[in-house]
Structure 1
Amino acid sequence: YTAEHQPEGNSGGWQGQSRSRDVARTGQGGGEGNVCGIVGYVGKRDAAPVLIEGLHRLEYRGYDSAGLAVMHRGRLRVTKTAGRVQDLRDKLSGQTAKSTIGIGHTRWATHGEPNETNAHPHTDTAARVAIVHNGIIENAEQLRDQLQASGVRLVTDTDTEALAHMIAAELAEREDVTLEDAVIRTLHRVEGAYGLVVLDIKNPDQLVVARNGSPIVLGLGENEMFVASDVSALVRYTRQVIYLEDGEIATITASAYHTKTLTGTDNSDNKTPTTVDADAGDYELGEYSDYMRKEIHEQPDALRRALRGRLDDRFATARLGGINLDARQLRNIKNVKFLGCGSAYYAGQMGAALVEELARIPADAEPASEFRYRSPVVDPDTLYVAVSQSGETIDTLMAVQELKRKGGQVIGAVNVVGSAIGRECGHGIFLHAGPEVAVASTKALTNMAVNFALLALLLGRVRDMSAANGQRVVNGLRNLPEQVSRMLNAEDDIATIAHQYAAADHMFFIGRVRGWPVAREGAQKLKEISYVHAEAYQAGELKHGPLALIAREMPSVVIIPSDDLVAKNLSTIEQIKARGGPVIALTSTDIPEGLADATIRVPRAEPELEPILLNVPLQILAYHAAAKLGRDIDKPRNLAKSVTVE
């Protein structure tokens, strides 16, 4: 599919097959522990600086060790560290040997401790083959046992080392075995997820690359080729890329590439390069100290991109050509279900509320991780929306595949054109958020919600929503970027409140109806980057148990949209205050002075759209609480930007 750009903007186009003119935006995904990074290079440049630069671009993903392998005068030179990419750079600073081919890796440990020995790349005993690998080999223990029984001495605790020995053994078995054949034969014995790159000193002009469940992208240069787990590692050198599909393998040289399936079918003719609509500057911090704050402040522009060309004043509706459904098909939709994980799931809840309010169609959201395990009843009249920033989230991808097996009607809502979910769905809604680097989603979540508002508007206008009501929503959507800008101007005031309550060990986030998914997302943001325990509750549920926890040490954030439930939300504040609990009110309406201990005000929007605005101050609140506590905001512990293994 592609983000279809028109002279006045974009219509949200999404096509099942890429073309050479296609425009892709970037995202994240992959990793041995979901977040590892892969870089490979073959060409005319000195390989080591290219690899180091690529690994630097992947540092945001989180890692505990780094390494690279280059070939010099027919021998492997492997350099590894249990530290940062800068430590690796320092280790290489005294080396003058040049190489035009190499592979690099940043590792997040899953098999074995995070030390230099377990760092990638891994080699066979004779140091003929070097390999870097993302993913988890599920039958690694069995493979390692077989190798040791045959006399191989394993020196690491990793699953990846087994692959290096197995590939080397295949190459040694017969002289006419190619590196590609050796990799294919090895992978036929492997169970699990992988994205990998293999280097062989007896094939000094080529790299072999394979993918199954962990993203791999090829970068096409002039007499040079690149490999990475994320295009962010490539955009400094090229914007022409090829995305590998699961079950595919590629062999690349400086001047050519070919791809085939693991069953041996050549499919190079189906691989048309995609142009990445991003450059190295998109991944620079600029004036900001970290990516999360940068991406919070990029939201007005991200919203403008999402809305450009998609608001139809003539018919008071939305244009979403990428969903590939005409008016008759839209009218036949009886239900809408959003499937996502984490923030994407909460955005789906916001989307479900918008669809029910604007289109009067039953809608709900469900965690994609639960959907495929409960033997779901798939209704052919239901529109399923698979939501993922990276487009690589394994739980959501597997839910899409389950739906397709059962004949479900599914579209994607992703931020990465060449992603697995995008390709699997074939059509859907492109988020237009731009590259999002920080683990905690901000602008992608906001753009998910605004795209779901567009979908709800479109569904409403093919049904009974009046033109006047449709135009009201169109105007409200058009106002959102400026309203978000106004909230960002109040960042210092929100930061003051965040600093005041950052020392709390626990916080509640309370909301009703429209405010409920906002509360859930607000609690998620706070706990994932500040490590403050936070729970979200529906306001009416407080008196059914959680009220017992209210105390002076337990602040509550109460979300108060300007709807007909204001009085009930004010009553909730009174209940909390009566029990000594501090209250931070997040509101788009007037509330009595002094009722809350602190108040965060947002501009009043069209009522259905207010949850989109109410999210933004909670992002700022979480950010400044985490900063006050000295947290690593962009790379919170134990978390990954994209979860591509279970």
Structure 2
Amino acid sequence: MCGIFGCILKDGAAAPIIHQALKRLEYRGYDSAGEATLHNGKIYIKKDGGKIDEIHRIHNLDDLPGRVGIGHTRWATHGAPTQENAHPHTDCGNQIALVHNGIIENFAELKLELENKGHVFRSKTDTEVIAHLIEENLKSNPSLKFAEAVLEAVRKLQGSFAIAVISSKEPDKIICARRESPLIIGIGKNALYCASDIPAFLPLTNKVIIVEDDEFAVLSPEGFEIRKIADASIVMREPKLIDWTPEMAIKQGYKHFMLKEIHEQPACLKNTLRLQEHYLDLMATFLDRAREVFLVACGTSYHACLAASYMFSKLAFLATYPVIASEFIEQHGKSVNIDSTILAVSQSGETADTIAAVNAARQRAATILGLTNVIGSTLTRISRVYICQQSGPEIGVAATKTFTSQLSVLAQLALRLAKKRGKISQDEMDFIEAKLKKLPDIVETVIRTQEEKVRQLAQKYRDAKVFMFLGRGISTATAYEGRLKLMEIAYVPAMAFPAGESKHGPISLIEEGVPVIFICPRDETHKTIIGNIMEMKARGASIIALIEEGDEEIKKLVDDYIELPKGIPDVLSPIPFIVPLQLFAYYMAVEKGYDPDKPRNLAKSVTVK
């Protein structure tokens, strides 16, 4: 997730306005930034890696000349956060500059095609290919107008994008286009703006037009025009007045970042499905060769590893060992060797205990693989191969969208390894892959249909003193993560166990009214977990069950239930099943008057041991 901005002014300098707009978009990405302006037929650019204030101190982003310009604040997905990879990107002749938010799935093929035609690339990003495509269109057909060349280019793109493009040949225009990634036009008194989010220009205007999927817009001093990408037909749309405060706008109208990020999960899951297959294949090859595989992480990422151990076992017949990073050295430090492979998972890529475990394994010649959300982090630098989960920045301290993104990547990796090993049938492979592609829509359905019911459950159980979470099989990981969310932000003591372990001690804590949350997908554990529900019910527990639609057998046994779409393969079930538990924790915190974005005593990235 990145932030883009553009402006056309009738009077005044664009650069200071772009600079301040990028500051307001910094929550969308903050590992590099840049600006480009047009003046006297020339494009001027300043960009670098780092946060905006750091870049401004070095380069003075305010002194670029011109009334037309674009800007970008980046969260890296392709290429490290360096000056070369920072946006804006240009064509060979430096006559086109472009900023982009999204992921171009077919950039590698397009890049090869353009290189064969003589184009020279300066960065490792997917974005730069768009600038060269536009240049090639103008070169091969000089009669094309700037907007037409951009339109032809975006028609060749696969994936998601919101772009803003300027050209020294038509210096009074900004061309924008979008597919899946957000794009909004702001209408000022003597200016036009385009941006990823309303906060970018909210202090300047509250009059906006939403550009919809597969539309492009031409901004000029005379006004703007929106057309369909498919056939260039004109779109008429009335502007809206936004009455948000700047703080509300940053959260897009949500009360808290955590709720916003829960709702962003369908889009994040779509991004994870656009991973470069080369890196999945490469990581799967290392896993296939390994004598032993340790999945090393902390907190929520550890729960993703626990779920992944079931995925690797069931799909690829690979035994893996999920290990809490802070215990790895004591538990396995002496036995790790050159035949060991460590798959380390860390949202930030900087988690101190995870990095310490990885460094200890490196000293014993183990192979290091990494899964993280931050390109350029320590984990990416010390891994033999790493994958970026592409969740975008997560502001809320409690992990939500980064957890489901990790699960999606790990599921894809397990499927890739299963295909390499030939351990499951093609029909089963096709079924799971098809369901994986539908997960964004499934999660969206869960949020849309169950959020209000979850909120009501939080009201009902807000005074409970303790909770227990139980699941079987892969749902054990879901239970652990649901418990963690509730403890993190609602400060309610909670326990989680494999349901089969409940009678080996935990059941002694059950008395009248104690809420027990069961995770109950219709998998091979379904019949057994019904027995566990009955055991708890007999001792007076209040049972809340997460079930699939139409599970009448469990409905009859429980006090409350949340229904999820049916037919989800068990190896993918933690992704949709965790969402109601995230919402439950959120609404429990709100009911108790706590700020779920800033839980006490916790930090987003734990960089001390």
- 1:401-480 correspondence to structure 2 within 5 Å: 401-463=359-421, 464-480=423-439
Match of 2:297 in 1: 340
Cα offset for 1:637? 0.3
Q: 2: CA distance between counterparts of 1:552 and 1:638? A: 32
Give the counterpart of 2:454 among 486, 489, 494. 494
Kept after mapping to 2: 8 A contact 1:384/1:409:
yes
Secondary structure of the corresponding residue to residue 383 of structure 1 = strand
How far the C-alpha of 1:514 sits from its partner, in A, is: 1.5
The structural deviation recorded for 1:380 is 3.4
Distance in 2 (CA, whole Å) between partners of 1:218 and 1:383 is 40
CA distance in 2, matches of 1:496, 1:564: 31
The alpha-carbon distance between structure 1 residues 407 and 584, as it changes in their structure 2 partners (threshold 3 A), is same
Residue pair 1:25, 1:416 contacting (<8 A) in 2 also: no
The superposition leaves residues 495-517 of structure 1 with CA deviations (integer Å, 9 ceiling, x where unpaired) of 11121111111000011112111
Query: How has the CA–CA distance of structure 1 residues 593 and 645 changed in structure 2, closer, same or farther, with 3 Å as cutoff?
Result: closer
Task: Write the deviation string for residues 433-476 of structure 1: whole angstroms up to 9, x where unpaired.
Answer: 11111001111000101111011101111112232221121111
Whether 2:464 is the aligned partner of 1:504: answer yes
Residue correspondence of structure 1 range 132-531 to structure 2 within 5 A: 219-220=54-55, 224=59, 238-239=73-74, 281=197, 284-308=250-274, 319-321=277-279, 324-325=282-283, 327=285, 329-374=286-331, 375-463=333-421, 464-489=423-448, 490-531=450-491
Q: C-alpha separation between the residues in 2 aligned to 1:430 and 1:414? A: 5
Instruction: Give me the whole-angstrom Cα distance separating, in 1, the residues matched to 2:75 and 2:581.
Output: 37
Q: Does 1:572 align with 2:535?
A: no
Deviations 1:21-67 (A, max 9, x none): xxx979xxxxxxxxxxxxxxxxxx99xxx999969968x99xxxxxx
Question: In the TM superposition, what is the alpha-carbon distance from 1:418 to its structure 2 partner?
Answer: 1.6
**Structure 1 residues 326 and 338: alpha-carbon distance in aligned structure 2, compared to 1, 3 A threshold:** closer
**One-letter amino acid matched to 1:412:** G
Q: Report the CA distance shift for 1:552/1:397 in structure 2 as closer, same or farther (over 3 A).
A: same
Deviation string 1:75-131 (CA, Å, 9 cap, x unpaired) is xxxxxxxxxxxxxxxxxxxxxxxxxxxxxxxxxxxxxxxxxxxxxxxxxxxxxxxxx
- Secondary structure of the 2:349 match is coil
Q: Secondary structure at the match of 2:573?
A: helix
Alignment partner of 1:603 is 2:565: yes
Which of the numbers 485, 499, 502 marks the counterpart of 1:542? 502
User: Within the alignment, does 1:631 sit opposite 2:594 as a pair?
Assistant: yes
Deviation at 1:431, TM superposition (A): 0.5
Q: Is the 8 A contact 1:347 1:445 kept in 2?
A: yes
- Greater mean deviation of Cα atoms: 463-472 or 561-570: 463-472
Return the alpha-carbon distance in structure 1 between the equivalents of residues 383 and 275 of structure 2.
23
| Residue in 1 that maps onto 2:239 | none
TM-score with structure 2 length normalisation? 0.61
Q: CA deviation at 1:638?
A: 0.3
What is the alpha-carbon distance in structure 2 between the residues aligned to residue 298 and residue 555 of structure 1?
A: 29
Task: Give the aligned partner of residue 4 of structure 1.
Answer: none
Q: Whole-Å Cα distance in 2 between the matches of residues 272 and 529 of structure 1? A: 41
Quote the offset at 1:343 in angstroms. 0.2
TM-score, structure 1 as length reference: 0.58
Residues 279, 385 of structure 2: 8 Å contact kept: no
Does the CA contact (< 8 Å) of 1:552 and 1:581 recur in 2?
A: yes
Unaligned 5+ segments in structure 1 are 1-23, 27-44, 62-214, 227-234, 245-270, 311-318
The 8 Å contact of residues 221 and 240 in structure 1, kept in 2 or not, is answered as: no
In the alignment, the residues of structure 1 paired with residue 607 and residue 528 of structure 2 have an alpha-carbon distance, to the nearest angstrom, of: 42
SS in structure 2 of the partner of residue 372 of structure 1: helix
CA distance in 2, matches of 1:409, 1:453: 21
Aligned residues of 2:337 and 2:364 also touching (Cα < 8 A): no
CA displacement at 1:393 relative to structure 2: 0.9
Q: Aligned AA for 1:436? A: E
SS of residue in 1 equivalent to 2:369:
strand
What amino acid does structure 2 have at the position aligned with 1:622? A
Give the aligned partner of residue 204 of structure 2: none
For the residues of structure 2 that align with 1:539 and 1:240, how far apart are their CA atoms?
40
User: Offset of 1:430 from its aligned partner?
Assistant: 1.2
C-alpha RMSD over aligned residues: 3.6
Give the AA of the match of 1:466.
S
The equivalent position to 2:576 in structure 1, one of 589, 609, 613, is: 613
For residues 365 and 443 of structure 1, do their structure 2 counterparts lie closer, same or farther at Cα, with a shift above 3 Å needed?
A: same
- TM-superposed CA distance for 1:602, in Å, is 1.2
- What is the deviation of 1:331? 3.3
**Which is worse superposed, 372-381 or 528-537?**
372-381
Q: Counting helix residues as a fraction of each chain, which structure ranks higher?
A: 2
CA distance in 2, matches of 1:468, 1:275: 33
The alpha carbon displacement at 1:518 in A equals 0.6
- TM-superposed CA distance for 1:493, in Å, is 1.0
SS at match of 2:502: helix
Partners of 1:643 and 1:469 in 2: CA distance? 39
- CA deviation vs aligned residue, 1:404-439 (integer Å, no higher than 9, x gap): 221111111001112111122152221111111100
Q: Distance in 1 between matches of 2:198 and 2:477?
A: 30
Q: 1:521 to 1:55 in 2, by over 3 A?
A: same
Q: Which residue of 2 aligns with 1:314?
A: none
- The change in CA–CA distance for 1:558 and 1:429 in structure 2 (over 3 A counts) is same
Once the two structures are TM-superposed, the CA of residue 237 in structure 1 deviates from its matched residue by 7.1
Identity across the alignment (%) = 33
* Aligned CA distance change for structure 1 residues 331 and 274 (closer, same or farther; 3 Å): closer
Greater relative contact order structure (CA < 8 Å, 6+ sep): 1
- Aligned pair count reads 409
Distance 1:421 1:413 in 2: 8
Measured in 1, the distance between the counterparts of 2:21 and 2:197 equals 17
Alpha-carbon spacing, 1:637–1:223, altered in 2? closer, same or farther (3 Å): closer
Partner Cα distance (2:470, 2:284) in 1? 39
CA distance in structure 1 between the aligned counterparts of 2:271 and 2:25, rounded to whole angstroms: 28
Cα contact 1:239–1:275 (8 A) shared by 2: no
Cα gap change, 1:54 to 1:645, in 2 (>3 Å): farther
Does the 8 A contact of 2:555 with 2:561 survive in 1? no
In 1, the alpha carbon distance for the partners of 2:198 and 2:476 equals: 33
What's the secondary structure of 2:546's corresponding residue? strand
Q: 1:236 to 1:522 in 2, by over 3 A?
A: farther
| 2:368–2:384 contact (8 Å) kept in structure 1 | no
1:43-54 superposed matches below 5 A: none
